[in-house]
A and B are shown apart, each in its own frame.
Chain A
Amino acid sequence: MVENNNAQGIVFNIQKYSVHDGPGIRTIVFTKGCSLRCRWCSNPESQRREPELAYNKGRCLGADKCTRCFKACPHDALSRTEDGFVAIDRAKCHGCDRPCAEACPAQGIIVYGKTYTAAEALKVVQEDSMFYARSGGGLTISGGEPLLQGDFALNLLRLAREKHVKTCIETCGMVDPEVLREAGQYLNYVLFDIKHMNPDVHKEHTGMSNERILENFRMLVETYPDLPITARTPIIPGFNDHGPDVRAICEFLKPFERVQYELLPYHRLGTQKYIFLDRVPPMGDLTLDDKKFSALRKIAVATLGDRVHIPR
């Protein structure tokens, strides 16, 4: 990494007061772009690297009350739907800096993805430093896959540590091992997704095999034996919601004695954002049964004991 406080990254959200992604009260910088295409992804706006236009019908005032976006679009990509709202012709929408979103008064048309320099992002993060001081929280970079924008992520992490802001990443592991290795030296905490042990199943549901992920995991644990790492598995119906799936992951984790483990239940709350992006939510109406989830967690505890995080 070349030290550069102005290294640029594309960020789709900076969320304050995050209490479920790392210790204490944290701010999450969500970066865009991911190598995986998990069918259950709850942040579909994070998958592509480049900024994307989204349409939130719930916020749109309707074409009877406001026509500002139609007038602003230079490509004639926006049209009135039969029910009086807005349709985006994504084939026509390209190459402009999206004046339609700027013109929309109601945040009905929004752009996911804004360029920040590492220094700019850290400045926003530091606004809550008083809360980190008391809670042991700090910065979490999430995504997408934060290390895919390696230059930005590494500079942001480096800068954070320079300013004594504690750091954490949420990674899917599908990254350049050198970037991950370099990131390790700036990290106070890591949340590392291990989704499935079977490479074929993994590929079928995420678009990629899991070999590199597992190699990266091993490398990180071995290179930084003192770095607190929590492996996380989102439990997804029809993918890894059977005992053997979870047991296999736990067996893999067992030798890494300092690694903690957490299971996250699938939720459908990201569904709406697929619709904003004119995409079909791949999971449909599938839901996860609470009892099934508890049973899986018990299986994890049987192998890993108190290394399994259980919310109390």
Chain B
Amino acid sequence: MSQTMCECRSPQEQRLLDKIEGKVDKFRATHERVFKMLERFDGMKPRIDIERALYFTQSMQETEGQPLVLRWAKAMMHIAKNITVYVQEDQLLLGRAGCDGRYGILYPELDGDFLDMAVRDLPTRATSPATITPEDAKRVIEDIAPYWKGKTYHEALNAALPPEIHKLTYDDPKGLISRFIVNETSSFRSSIQWVHDYEKVLKRGFNDIKREAEEKIAALDPMSAKDMCEKKPFLDAVVIVCDAIVLWAKRHAEEARKVAEKTSDPVRKAELLRMAENAERVPGEPARDFWEACQSQWFTQMFSRLEQKTGTTISNGRMDQYLYPYYEQGIKDGSLDDKKAIELMECMWVGMAEFIDMYISPCGGAFNEGYAHWEAVTVGGQTPDGRDATNELTHLILKSKREFPLHYPDLAARIHSRAPESYLWDVAETIKDGSGFPKLINDEEVVPLYVSKGATFEEALDYAVSGCTEARMPNRDTFTSGGAYINFAAAVEMVLRNGRMKKYGDQVLGEETGDPRNFKTWDEFWNAYVAQHLLFLRTAFIQQHIVNNLRAKHFAQPMGSALHDLCMKHCIDLHQPHIPEGVDYGYFEYMGLGTVVDSLSAIKKLVFEEKKITMDELIKAIDANFEGYDDVRALLKSAPCYGNNDMYADSIGREIDRISVEFAHKYSEKDLGMYYNVRYVPFTSHVPFGKVVSATPNGRVDWFPLSDGSSASHGADVHGPTAVLLSNYNTKNMGMRDRFARMLNIKFTPKCVEGEQGTEKLVSFIRTFCDLKLWHVQFNVLNKSTLLAAQKDPQKYRNLIVRIAGYSAYFVDLSPDLQNDLIARTEHETM
């Protein structure tokens, strides 16, 4: 079974996984259809399909000057009419946004200004490469990119940022290279992650939504300029886009019938005819059974991907909830069994695995290394009424997760204090089997926070996981902009270098807080850090103010809006900065919590309290990247670190969090009109952010990755996983609401979770995670490859504890011989 994580999956790890996936799988026999489909694109580099970009651009050229939402709907209609429709061998579902196999599509409205350059580099770039045919590349360069020059959101943003904001955002005048200090993310996605109200599509169908829009048009006041200029174009767009998706679906029906005619195998022929019937009916009309429901959801999801590049793809929502009535009915009337239900869902998983969420900009690629994907399928949690929501389908999806050979879908399990044991055991077994999935999201943190920020209990209890760790309420949330990713390790460096960074030479980027050699007390140092911290926050908030107001001029989302109660009620596109009655949740990212806390802890303790190192010595050691200063480096590393339930370090972490939370409390709603709150979720971006930060006082060397999310620095957590959870809790300001997700990764050796007893202990560990009201956790049950990595790079893995009855030691302290012994056992255990 493969593993993946929301966080850093390096290309090496990915390759290793692919290799593992190449083995003959014990589940092949019972999942033959999906295995056959997967084998067809096994090991293939993703291809770029340009059709979406081409038709979108053609239409936009035709409609200049019209209201944007209407233009977008027309572009969707143009795509629906012209894009190639596919009927794939063995597939039971129809609808994809591009060619056979693994593919990515282009969104020139986001990055058309450098698309030509990017397309040239794409096949050879180091992170997340992709192939494109020379003819297609030529069309992109000649027909698509030129139209967008001067029109993209990215260019507008680059031009709109005042110099003092620009210099911390970009490294070049054109804004093509990130500074990786206060990094904007709004230009490589048109909003932060999103999830649609799929239940609405399944129950009502797009024809009914179109009817609603037409009724509203009929009821408009023709004398009202607002009705005519704002509401009517929106409603017209809804009508067009509803027609567009239905037309697109019917083209699939036609194609499926054509293929059926040519098919001699009677079983497949019958399948194809049934698929054609499905596509004839949904998503226009309500779904009548499980197959139609899956088909309706799938068309909606894929059309949504054609419509827009939402950050980290469109999530799948609470699948075990909205599909359940169809499942229940099918089981009852005998038309469905568990095997068929799993097969249909796995046909969706295959489709998800084939669609690559391409990041064209080098920055986006580095943020989401290894073709990262977050199509989050949510299971479990509570009903809007606050009862436990698990059902048979919940367990079936978890079972599929254990048996499906790829790391798709991105599965999220909601946990709450009354989650039944049967569910948690199944979740724990899945984590053990699948080495990492599902990730866990905690209702006991999410629900009260959302309620405190304006949602009703009913809405908050019905949240769906979306993106990496976030949560969305599909009819209450709004489409907020991608926020700033802020490199706070750079703030520490700027204190040590009086506002400068080694990477950027003599340029003054931060506050000139003075020569730290002259600081007499820890308080002076701390205050200098706070000054840099506040400068970064100020920069992020100004950046966001500009982003929020610019975005609405560049993006519209008629289909997404048609599925949103409030957009339909107020006749307004989801991209507008404020939707009446909506709640606007957005966030900025604290990058490098562990790195910063450990650095400040080392300075406080060793320089100011114990005086074992002078500030001059520290700076010299850092300037030399610790070369010739190994003893100083070792000493710095011995200071109390975040992740050990040590209040010396954790209290610094809480103070740091407090600065962010208080700033957000003071300025988000007042200035930005949204909850722009702190979050600790880096994707894979702690790697590129680390590349601009020189050595740090926690012993980290030049350009090494920062700590990730709310996890400890590499190898710094040496007291086991309970201490990691407690440190996380210790650094939160529980009395304030101005926070969002914290991502936490925990590693276990297989021995820790071995057998039934191991599962039981994992379940109780998850219960305590829930009690502590931590937002997110995901587990990585170590496999052989990780132990091999630890053998190679002991520094990074010095926290890896081998727990065996009556005995304990650090893995890296064992001799190579003994390590091999243990590696051999681990292999044995995972077989």
Contact = CB atoms under 8 A, between A and B. Distances in A.
Q: Do A and B come from one complex?
A: yes
B808 A15 contact: yes
A127 interface: yes
A47 B822 CA distance: 25
Interface in A92-141: 105-107, 127-128, 130-131, 133-137
A25 B804 contact: no
B634 A19 contact: no
Interface stretch (B43-51, B324-332, B500-508, B717-725): B717-725
Given A20-B804, A42-B806, A105-B638, A134 B755 contact: no
A18 B814 CA distance: 19
Given A16-B720, A58-B813, 5 more contacts: A105-B634, A130-B768, A131-B764, A133-B771, A268-B821
Given A16-B722, A268-B821, A105 B806 contact: no
B722 A264 contact: no
A63 to B, nearest CB: 11
25 contacts: A16-B722, A19-B757, A20-B804, A20-B806, A24-B761, A25-B765, A43-B807, A56-B813, A65-B630, A66-B630, A66-B634, A68-B631, A105-B632, A130-B768, A135-B761, A170-B806, A264-B805, A267-B804, A269-B802, A269-B807, A270-B807, A271-B815, A272-B813, A311-B754, A311-B757
Contacts of A105: 631-632, 634-635, 637-638
A58 B816 CA distance: 11
Interface string A1-26: 00000000000010111111100110
Given A107-B638, A127-B645, A272-B815, A16 B767 contact: no
Contacts of B760: 135
Contacts, number: 124
A312 B757 contact: yes
By Cβ-Cβ distance, the 9 closest A-B pairs, closest first, are A135-B764, A105-B635, A17-B720, A105-B634, A106-B634, A66-B631, A20-B805, A65-B630, A134-B764
Contact of B764 (A20, A25, A142, A268): A25
Interface in B188-223: none
A61 interface: yes
B818 interface: yes
B805 A61 contact: no
A269 B806 contact: no
A297 to B, nearest CB: 14
A128 B807 contact: no
Contacts of A61: 630-631, 634
A273 interface: yes
Interface residues of A, number: 46
A13 B813 CA distance: 16
B586 to A, nearest CB: 32
A264 to B, nearest CB: 5
Contact of A20 (B632, B722, B803): B803
A25 B803 CA distance: 12
A264 B751 CA distance: 14
Chain B, interface SS category: helix
Interface residues of B, number: 45
Contact of B631 (A19, A59, A106, A268): A106
Nearest to B828: A290
B449 interface: no
A294 B722 CA distance: 33
Interface of A: 13, 15-21, 24-25, 28, 42-43, 56, 58-59, 61, 65-66, 68, 105-107, 127-128, 130-131, 133-137, 142, 170, 264, 267-273, 275, 287, 311-312
A312 B815 CA distance: 30
Interface in B794-816: 794, 802-809, 812-815
B752 interface: yes
B756 interface: yes
- Residue from A13, A16, A127 whose CB has the most chain B CB atoms within 10 Å: A16
A127 B719 CA distance: 12
A261 B813 CA distance: 32
A21 B756 contact: no
Contacts of B715: none
Interface string B746-766: 000001101111101100110
Contacts of A142: 806
Nearest to B757: A311
B530 interface: no
Contacts of A128: 722, 726
Nearest to A276: B813
Given A25-B761, A105-B638, A130 B720 contact: no
B765 A267 contact: no
B790 to A, nearest CB: 13
Nearest to A62: B630
Given A16-B722, A127-B645, A271-B815, A311 B755 contact: yes
A15 B720 contact: yes
Given A264-B806, A267-B807, A312-B757, A272 B814 contact: yes
A52 to B, nearest CB: 16
A66 B755 CA distance: 46
B822 A269 contact: yes
Contact of A135 (B645, B721, B765): B765
A268 B802 CA distance: 13
Contacts of A275: 815
B772 interface: yes
B758 A19 contact: yes
Contact of B771 (A65, A127, A130): A130
A269 B814 contact: yes
A130 B818 contact: no
Interface string B616-654: 000000000000001110110110000001000000000
A272 B761 contact: no
A17 B821 contact: no
A136 B761 CA distance: 9
Contacts of A311: 754-755, 757
Interface in B655-681: none
Nearest to B631: A66
Contact of A272 (B721, B754, B809): B809
A61 B699 CA distance: 14
A142 B807 CA distance: 9
A76 B412 CA distance: 60
A20 B808 CA distance: 11
A19 B752 contact: yes
A17 B806 contact: no
A130 B772 contact: yes
A137 B757 CA distance: 12
B400 to A, nearest CB: 24
Contact of A131 (B758, B768, B805, B809): B768
A61 B795 CA distance: 12
A109 to B, nearest CB: 12
